Amino acid sequence: MPYRVTFVCTGNICRSPMAEWVLRQHVEDEGLEVEVDSSGTGGWHVGDEADERTVAALRRAGYRSAHIARQWEPSWFDRYDLIVALDEGHRRALRSMAPDEASRAKIRLLREFDPDAVPPDLDVPDPYYGGSDGFDLVLKQVEAAMPGLLDEIRSALKER
């Protein structure tokens, strides 16, 4: 059975799909048995494609992207091994929906995996209302967290 990771942001059109496609590329490159997807805490963009600025930032960096937004469902806690929130607000929302402590323990912040990120400033900022530079910053923060996230995934896979 594959290890399952999901990313969660607000509308599932900017930050979480970007993190999803960056991690997808890394696990494919390494041949890891990992399924990756994403969703949002809100339903405003359900059915929409990723923001064009997200897609552009990913493509400039050499990543693929194909995405349709969806909203997080509380029934999904059992489906995932690791639930990665993009900011503290998302983590709080997910924790409030979690049915038990085991589910809450699966929820982490993406920047917890970045050794250069300094608590308490672990939020990936929402680039939606800004220009393309905000999307480039998000991509930089996502990429900075990938080595630590991949270490976490490799460790979990070894324990199986």
* DSSP codes, 64-89: -------B--GGGGGG-SEEEESSHH
d(CA 53, CA 133): 9
**What per-residue confidence (pLDDT) applies to 31?**
97
**What per-residue confidence (pLDDT) applies to 85?**
98
Count of Cβ atoms closer than 10 Å to residue 91 Cβ = 22
- 126 noted as active-site residue: yes
Show the 3-state SS of 11-66: CCCCHHHHHHHHHHHHHHHHCCCEEEEEEECCCCCCCCCCCHHHHHHHHHCCCCCC
- 123 noted as active-site residue: no
158 alpha-carbon distance from chain centroid: 22
- 51 noted as active-site residue: no
CA distances from 84 to 132, 142, 152 (A): 23, 11, 12
**What CATH topology corresponds to 3-159?**
Rossmann fold (3.40.50)
CA distances from 147 to 27, 58, 72, 90, 91 (A): 11, 18, 26, 22, 21
Catalytic residue among 14, 15, 37, 87: 15
Catalytic residue among 48, 81, 126, 136: 126
By the 8 A CB rule, do 9 and 38 touch?
Answer: yes
Catalytic residue among 9, 51, 111, 114: 9
Q: What is the pLDDT along the chain (160 residues), one digit of tens a residue?
A: 899 999 999 999 999 999 999 999 999 999 999 999 999 999 999 999 999 999 999 999 999 999 999 999 999 999 999 999 999 999 999 999 999 999 999 999 999 999 999 999 999 999 999 999 999 999 999 999 999 999 999 999 999 9
